[in-house]
């Protein structure tokens, strides 16, 4: 007996009901590069109603080994114990390169995975950061449509993914370790500057003292940055994700951030800007796909690429020809 593949409408209804399996299937469609999958995914995206207003989006970053998955496990369980529904999404642009992915080969967040009020989605193996970012945006949207009101977007702090995540979330949390010696060495200024909060993890055992010292130093460093447009003053806290200390304080910090930005209208403005940006990005993406997947264009492009290489036609004229042909088609 063959299992029936659910239709886009069935998946949509499943998502609206909060069915995790339907959500997971829809995300697989979002991540797929197959045209018929994308069509289905677009149907679900286009018909999901989601104002995003009820949710909070938190970006979490830090170098491999800093304790991101341990932190998210502890933090996520705190959130679900407070009655929230937590979705964890991961951006790992390295996963397409190293296959085995920095994150992929560990069993991560074992307890949170089993929590009925949590949904964890590992990184799609993206082709490019741009592709991964687009998929993450759409995934956030679908998770919210499925009723998840706390979206945690995790990123591996090794590349430019932080900037992409920063533009999708409301609060940006940087996880750090207390290093030996010069605490501020090797921190990318840009990432520090984006952070709304810094949590110095592994503040336990013999490390506790050093973590406290690092807290003071980071606090001093943060004061050197210009004030945030949100009016929020970034804070530095310490925590132990393993021993579950300081985690509650981190939530209180984030909660007070949201109280502030809800009151001063900053959150609403951010969401408006994000929506505009998401529209423009989606438009670009769909136009490019439509253009390059057009069979007539494909053939013409192949021909013109050769002609351009042989100097038979200028690249500009070739581009004009292609666009003209495209416009006639549509």
Q: Which residues bind ligand GDP (CB under 6 A)?
A: 62, 64-70, 106, 201-202, 204, 240-242
Cβ at position 157, least distance to ligand GDP in Å? 8
Q: Report the nearest approach of ligand GDP to the CB of residue 111 (Å).
A: 13
**Residue 25 or 77 with smaller CB distance to ligand GDP:** 77
d(CA 161, CA 194): 12
Residue of this chain nearest to ligand GDP (CB atom): 67
Q: Are 72 and 152 in contact (CB under 8 A)?
A: yes
- Orientation of helix 129-145 relative to helix 266-293, angle to 10°: 120
DSSP-derived secondary structure for 65-128 = TS-HHHHHHHHHHHHHHTT--EEEEEE-TTHHHHSSTTTTTS---HHHHH-TTEEEEPPP--SS
**Site of tokens 């100097």:** 311
Cβ proximity to ligand GDP: between 125 and 149 the closer is 125
**130 or 179, CB closer to ligand GDP?**
179
Min dist. Cβ of residue 253 to ligand GDP (A) = 17
CB of 245 to ligand GDP, least distance (A): 8
Nearer residue to ligand GDP within complex by CB, 62 or 76: 62
Q: Compute CA distances 189 → 57, 129, 267, whole Å.
A: 23, 21, 25
Between 244 and 270, name the residue whose CB sits nearer to ligand GDP: 244
Structure tokens at 19: 């069915």
Minimum distance, C-beta of residue 247 to ligand GDP, in the bound complex (Å) = 9
Total count of residues recorded for the chain: 330
């Amino acid at each position: 007996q063959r299992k029936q593949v659910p239709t886009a409408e069935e998946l949509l209804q499943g998502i609206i009901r909060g069915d995790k399996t339907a959500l997971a299937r829809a995300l697989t469609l979002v991540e797929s590069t197959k045209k018929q999958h994308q069509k289905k995914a677009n149907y679900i995206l286009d018909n999901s109603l989601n104002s995003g207003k009820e949710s909070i989006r938190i970006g979490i970053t830090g170098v491999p080994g800093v304790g991101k998955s341990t932190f998210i496990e502890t933090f996520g369980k705190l959130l679900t114990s407070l009655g929230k529904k937590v979705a964890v999404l991961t951006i790992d642009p390295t996963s397409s390169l190293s296959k085995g992915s920095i994150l992929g080969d560990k069993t991560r967040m074992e307890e949170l995975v089993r929590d009925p009020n949590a949904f964890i989605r590992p990184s799609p193996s993206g082709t490019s950061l741009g592709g991964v970012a687009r998929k993450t945006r759409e995934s956030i949207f679908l998770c919210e449509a499925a009723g998840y009101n706390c979206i945690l977007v995790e990123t591996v702090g090794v590349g430019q993914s932080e900037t992409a995540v920063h533009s999708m979330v409301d609060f940006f949390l940087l996880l750090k370790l207390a290093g030996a010696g010069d605490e501020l060495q090797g921190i990318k200024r840009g990432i520090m500057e984006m952070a709304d909060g810094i949590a110095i993890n592994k503040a336990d055992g013999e490390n506790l003292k050093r973590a406290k010292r690092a807290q003071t130093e980071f606090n001093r460093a943060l004061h050197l940055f210009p004030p945030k447009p949100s009016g929020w003053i970034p804070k530095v806290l310490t925590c132990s994700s393993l021993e579950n200390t300081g985690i509650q304080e981190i939530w209180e910090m984030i909660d007070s951030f949201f109280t502030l930005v809800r009151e001063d209208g900053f959150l609403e403005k951010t969401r408006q800007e994000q929506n505009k940006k998401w529209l423009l990005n989606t438009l670009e993406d769909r136009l490019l796909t439509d253009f390059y997947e057009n069979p007539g264009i494909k053939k013409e492009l192949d021909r013109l690429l050769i002609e351009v290489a042989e100097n038979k036609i200028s690249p500009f004229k070739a581009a004009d020809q292609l666009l003209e042909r495209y416009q006639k088609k549509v």
